[in-house]
Amino acid sequence: MAGLSGTATAAVAMGAVAAAPFVLGAIGFTSAGVAAGSYAAGMMSSAAVANGGGVAAGSVVAVLQSAGAAGLSATASAAVAGVGATVGWLASFIS
Segments in the chain below pLDDT 70 = 1-19, 72-75, 77, 95
Domain ranges of the chain: 6-91
Cα–Cα distances in Å, from 40 out to 2, 26, 65, 91?
A: 38, 9, 8, 28
Q: Is residue 29 classed exposed, middle or buried when 0-12, 13-18 and 19+ CB atoms within 10 A define those classes?
A: buried
Q: Give the Cβ contact number of residue 50 at 10 Å.
A: 11
The pLDDT value recorded for residue 8 is 64
Helix (H) or strand (E) holding 93: none
Report d(CA 87, CA 48) in Å as an integer: 31
pTM of the prediction?
A: 0.59
